[in-house]
Structure 1
C-alpha cells in the first residue's frame, strides 16, 4: 500500500508538471505566432481560467466529477479559441482516467479525441486522414493500456489486502492458540499441584478429626502433615506467580523429589509406596523433570483417593534414548476406555506436548499400571 501511494504521487506530480509545461508551450507558441494584442490577451485569459480550474481540481476534495467538468469546459473553450492548445489534452486525459469512474472513461476519451481531431484539422493546410486516425489510434491504445494497468494494480492491491488480512487472521489465531495452550497448561498445573494438595489436606484433617479424642498424638501428626502440605501448596502458588520450577525440585534432583513424594503418600494412606530407580541417573532437562514429577503427583493422588490399594510401586527407568516412569497399584482399577477425568487427560496432554507417550493398563478389580515415556533431552 505504501509503494502504491508512492507511485500514485509520482504519476500525479508528472501529470501536473506536464500540464504546466504543455500549457506554457502552447501559450508561448500562440504569442510567437500572433503577437501581442486583444485576441492574444483573450486567449491568455482563457488559459489562466483553465489553469485556475486545474489548480482547484488538484487541491479540492469535493465533488471530483464536478471539478473535472469545470476543467473540461475551460479546456474546450480555450481550444475553440486557439486550436494549438489541444496539446493540453494529454495530461487532462490521464487526469480524467484517474479521477472519473469507469463508466465515464470512454465518453471522456471520445470528447477529448474529437476535440484534438478538430483542432488539428483547423491548424492543417489541407485534410489528411492521419489527422483523424492518428489521435483516434493513440487514444484507443493509451486508454486500453491504462485500464489494463489499472485493473492489474487493483488486483495486486486486492491480493495484498487479502494477504494482510490472512496474516492478521493468522496472528489472531496464533494468539488465541497460545492463550488456550497456556490456560490448558495452568489447568494441568493447578490440578496436579494445588488441587491435589488441597485434597491431601482434606484427607489428613478428616483423619485428625476422627482420631482427635482416641489417638490425640496421631491426630496432631496428621495436622502437622496437613500444615506441611499447606506450606508446599503456598510455595506452588508463589511459583505460578514467579513462573519458576516446582519447589520439590528446588536444590533437589528428580529422584529425590519422587522419593519424598512416595514417602508422603505412604504417610497419608498408610500403605507401602515403593520407589525404585533403574539405570544410570542422567539430567533430563527442566521441562521433562517437571512433567514426570507432575505425572507422579497426579497418579499417586488418584491412588490415594480411588484405588484402595494394598501396595503401590513407582519406578523411574533411565534408558539410552528415553526415560520411563511407571506407577503401579493393586487397587480397585477401572476401565480406561470408559473412564474420563481431567487428571488422565492432563497427563496425556502434558506428555504429548513433550513428544512422549502414555500407556494405561487397568481393569475393575485388577489394579492399574501407568507408564509414561519421554525422549532423553539435554539439561537446560
Structure 2
C-alpha cells in the first residue's frame, strides 16, 4: 500500500470518528440534559453538572491531545462515573451506555484496557439501575446486551484493523521490493543504453578516423620508394584527417576547436568531409548542400550519417559517383546520399553502422530510409524534424 492510499485511509477514519463524536454529543450528552429540563429539584442540576464535567473533559482531550494532564484514561474514568451517576438520577442509563461504547475502543490504549473500562461502565450502569427508583428490568437487559455486543464487536473490529495493518505492511514491503527491483532494472537499462551510445560514438568517430588513417598510412608506406611525392600528399591527408577528427571530437563535447570562436555549420562540415573523401578515393561527388542553420545535435547526427554512408561506399559499393543533397523539407532537415555502386539487400544487412544511424536519428525523433538492391546502387535518406533557418 503506497503513501497516498495510507493517507486516504487515515482521512476516512478521521471523518468517521468526527461523525461518531457528533452523534455521541447529540445522542449521548444532550438527552440527559433535555430529560431533566422541566424538573425543579436537585436531580436537574446534578445531572447538568455531571454532563458538564464530562463535556469539559472531552473538550480538553480533543483540544489538547498531547497534554499529559489530559489523558484518555482519565476521560474514560470520568465517562464511567457519569454513566453510573446518570443511571441513578434518570432511572436507567442503558441508552447512554450503549451510545458511549465506541469511546472505550477509540481512547483505550489496549484491548484489555478497553474491555476493563466497558465492564466498569456496565457495572456502574447496572448499579445505577438497581439503586435508582423505580427499577427497570429493560435497562438491565439492554445494558447486558450492550456489554456483550460492545466487547465482541470491538474485538472483531480490532481483528479486522489488525489484519488490514498486517496486509498493508506486507503490501508495503512488496511495493518497496518491487520499486527496488525496478530501480535496478532501470539502472541496468540505463547502463546498457549508455554502452550502446558509447559504442555508436566510437564507431562513428574514432573507428572511422582510424580506418581512414590506416588506409592512407598503408598507401603512403607502399609508395615511399616508388612515388615519394604521392606518399607526402598522403601523409598530409593523414595529418588533416587527425586534425579534423580532433575538431569533431571537440564539437561533440560542446567545445570549439582551437582558434575557432564559433561552431561550424552543417553544410561546411559536410563539404570538408566530401573534399577529404574525394581526395582519398578519387571518386566523383555531386553535392547540393543548402546552408542550413540547425542545432548542434542535428548537425552531429547528420555528419555521422554522412561519414558512415561514405565509409560504406568506400568499403563495399565499388561506386564511381556519389551524390549528396542537403535540403530543408516540410518534415525538417533532409539528407540524401546516393551511389551507383553494387548495392545490397537492406533486409539481409547486419552491419552495426546502419543500426547505429537509425538509433541516432530515432533519439532525435527522425528516421532513416535505406533503398537498395544488388546491382542498382544505394540511396540513404535521413530526415530530422527540426525547424531550420535558411
1:18 aligns with 2:72: yes
Q: Which is worse superposed, 204-213 or 366-375?
A: 366-375
- Please state how far the C-alpha of 1:340 moved relative to its aligned partner: 0.6
In structure 1, distance between residues paired with 2:149 and 2:358: 74
The aligned residue for residue 110 of structure 2 is 96
Gaps of 5+ in 2: 14-61, 82-100
The aligned residue for residue 212 of structure 1 is 224
Q: CA RMSD in A?
A: 4.4
In structure 2, distance between residues paired with 1:111 and 1:146: 16
1:104-143 paired onto structure 2 within 5 Å: 124-125=130-131, 128-143=140-155
1:351 aligns with 2:361: yes
Conserved in 2, the CA contact under 8 Å of 1:334 and 1:362?
A: yes
- Please state how far the C-alpha of 1:326 moved relative to its aligned partner: 1.4
Gaps of 5+ in 1: 28-86, 98-104
1:145-294 paired onto structure 2 within 5 Å: 145-152=157-164, 171-237=183-249, 242-244=253-255, 251-277=263-289, 281-294=291-304
| CA displacement 1:184-233 (0-9 Å, x = unmatched) | 22222211111100000000001101111100011011112112222333
- Please state how far the C-alpha of 1:265 moved relative to its aligned partner: 0.6
1:337 aligns with 2:347: yes
- Please state how far the C-alpha of 1:132 moved relative to its aligned partner: 2.3
Change (3 A) 1:270 1:182: same
Change (3 A) 1:369 1:26: closer
1:313 aligns with 2:314: no
| CA displacement 1:104-158 (0-9 Å, x = unmatched) | x9xx988886787678767855883344222112223333344444455555566
Change (3 A) 1:245 1:158: farther
TM-score (normalizing by structure 2): 0.64
How many residues in Structure 1 have an aligned counterpart in Structure 2? 309
- Please state how far the C-alpha of 1:93 moved relative to its aligned partner: 9.1
